[in-house]
Structure 1
């Protein structure tokens, strides 16, 4: 309620203020001003306010405002000023009444129609004002020339307001779109983390299935030999089976979380690479590092393996960011070679010694240490290679190119077009 009252006050004040920016084309006190433009814009933009009440209050406020202004500058007496400006109040009354009955707000998606409605309502309201003025003063009768002028100024004000309204609307839509895009990127990053967890969970379930089978076979052999530990083997098999069932429920829950509304099942490779670069630019800023990122993707291809690729590329580019000491350069290049899509990730970090390159994909290998000298887990590249191999691709480190550490990911395009499996 307080917000509506504030909006009403703003509309009334703006209409009164811009109403003093005027010309008097017909002589006398009849004026063309920007007050109605402010009023019309307020009705279109602030749709929470009622049209009729706003029009009545604005017309009354403008009448009082102009009378007070005349009296303060000793231009007219109270009574004289009241009858001079009363027709202006009728202009706002009739304008809001016509806008209300035509339901102009329903047609905001059709700017040209709204402009024509506004021009017509402006013209008719001016006619009403002139008729009222003829009652209280010697205002000249309406002629074809003055009618044409009324129509021209009405169209000018109306289309100015509609243009301004659409300009603000477009900016608002763009702002909302930018926020929406950021939200989608955040959801994709969350889903990427969920994908990684689901990837490992599926591997664990495969192992649990094998352990369950072997435990039951062990129980069968022990029972046939009438060994006293056969019930223990059966208990182990049952417990492992329960763990597998719990893992299945967890995987189903992860799958439901990953299938979020609003996320496209496919994403262009170029857009995906841009998402990786933007995320890691923020990561570099967080680490207080000045890193120049460049990327080039001319591939016109979309993939359904969004989270798999995001996981792999994020691992490689984040590793590059972490490897650079303070200043450096990271490149992400994408090319289509025969039937394979090839990603190149290069960084200007210290590099990996040649005699250690056969170990980089082993769990626990790392060249990164924190301020206290503690090493990282060293499973990122192992995990990335596992995902790439699940797509029948390859991940390898190449010879340094111009002093830059160079990782290459090669994945068959048919694997990138297959349906994303999350359960």
Structure 2
């Protein structure tokens, strides 16, 4: 199953099924599944779009009918609309290891990446003209960073995360990295890389889209400067739910946003011609908040009440270990190869399998109720959201994968 393995184990199917049931029975997070709207299938695409918490529609109905329909403009004050970006940011903060007052919610991940990268090079100051960008990153991060570089007169330096240390130097202003690689599920060394960036005199910007809500991040503990993330994956905020921006408290007084909208003004209703930035994380705001989707997110975050991120991480690792074991047992040698690191310290909360027939295989998996996704040309991607995915789901998905592979003619086997 791993890159170095060409043989399969011989664990009987029934033993794996029995183990899965026992593991689910002992799982302290198993009760969380009932909080989500799920069908009888196996949903392994929460790393693209999290499942709907069952209580959210009623909360959204209240936003629409009472807060908007009855209170109307009064809801900016009476329903707390105006303070929602910071209030919801404070709810996300514990999930990424941040103290209150450092996260503001609003805009898309892409917009927040732009704010963060431009602000980072401005914090770094003159004499540094390079922005290092993860060469394997989600494409939009690269596009946005390149636009930020053009705006600020800097040069983009694409570099693999493993080569960041060698690429850092006196010209480095900022480094933009993904905490977890969206394609392979590899977890990068946030503490070590952040420390190295600081040692070089540069500013560290992290994209947390594939880690927040799946594993501990430790933004404050590890001295991260700026971070961004989406809320529709492991945080289950809904399609297109607003992203967030983390600005470490030590940088807030000098955070210079390239998008200084009226919402981030020190006196937004003064309507003055000159811009004066507000204090604190409010500086990360731009225009009028997208209230309906923002309050949908706020309601969705209720599923995290009483949940330890450490417990989520422990289950995530156990789930992905078990899924890999089941795939090893069920799938014929050579049909798939895991490109997700085996080492826990290097693994996010997904398993990516290279498969020569990835497109027809994923199509048939979805038809049979196992929903993952595809990263062309040959990667089957399965996301494990510990709040609602169980061990029986992992075993069933691996078993159906083996059935599908038996039906789909093999092309070039992978090694």
Q: TM-score, normalised by structure 1?
A: 0.20
Higher helix share: 1
Which is greater in Rg?
1
